[in-house]
Structure 1
Amino acid sequence: MDMQRSSDSALIDQDTARAAVELARPVLEASTRDPRINQGGFLHVVVMDPARTPLDAGFEEAILYECSLGGRREDWDADYAGFARAKARLSWQHGRDSFHLQTAEPWRLRPGDTTLWGSVWLDGIVVAASGGEAEFDEAFAGMVALLMRALARQAQRGRPHAPHHG
Structure 2
Amino acid sequence: MKSNLELAESAVELVLPAIDNMFKQAKRKELHIVVINPTVKPWESDFESAILFQRSLGNPESWAVEFDKLARAKAKQAWKHSFSNIDIQSKHPTLLEEGDVLWSGSFVYGGIVVACSGVEPEFDMLASGLIAVAFEQLAVHEYHNDKLSEPMKTFR
Query: How high is the TM-score relative to the length of structure 2?
Result: 0.89
Shift of 1:20: 0.2
Please list the CA deviations of residues 61-97 of structure 1 after superposition, one character each: whole Å capped at 9, or x if unmatched: 000001011x221111111101100000011000001
Bigger mean CA deviation after superposition, 75-84 or 152-161: 152-161
Equivalent residue, structure 1, for 2:44: 56
Residue 126 of structure 2: which of 106, 119, 139 is its match?
139
**Contact persistence 1:47–1:65 (CA under 8 A):** yes
Partner of 1:6: none
Are residues 1:79 and 2:70 paired?
A: no
Query: Hey, what does 1:7 align to over in structure 2?
Result: none
Runs of at least 5 residues in structure 2 that lack an aligned partner in the other structure? 151-156
Query: Percent sequence identity over matched residues?
Result: 34
CA RMSD, 1 decimal:
1.5
Correspondent of 1:92 among 76, 79, 83: 79
Change (3 A) 1:94 1:11: farther
In 2: Cα distance, 1:12 partner to 1:104 partner = 34
DSSP 3-state at the match of 1:44:
strand
Contact kept in structure 2, 1:45 and 1:129, CA below 8 Å = yes
C-alpha change, 1:127 and 1:120, in structure 2 (3 Å) is same
Conserved in 2, the CA contact under 8 Å of 1:44 and 1:129? yes
Aligned-pair CA distance for 1:29: 2.4
Q: Is the CA contact (8 Å cut-off) linking 1:95 and 1:121 kept in structure 2? A: yes
Q: Distance in 2 between matches of 1:30 and 1:60?
A: 31
Residues paired across the two proteins, number = 148
Which has the larger helix fraction?
Answer: 2
Specify the alignment match of 1:46 in structure 2: 34
Unaligned runs of 5+ in 1: 1-9, 162-166
Q: Return closer, same or farther for 1:12/1:125 CA change in 2, 3 Å cut-off.
A: farther
- The counterpart of 1:123, out of the listed 76, 86, 110, is 110
Structure 2 distance, partners of 1:78, 1:116, is: 13
CA distance in 1, matches of 2:98, 2:92: 14
1:41 offset after TM fit, Å? Answer: 2.0
Task: Give the equivalent residue in structure 2 for 1:24.
Answer: 15
Aligned partner of residue 102 in structure 1, secondary structure = helix
User: Normalized against structure 1, the TM-score is what?
Assistant: 0.84
- 1:31 CA displacement: 2.7
Indicate if the aligned counterparts of 1:45 and 1:68 stay in contact, CA closer than 8 A: yes
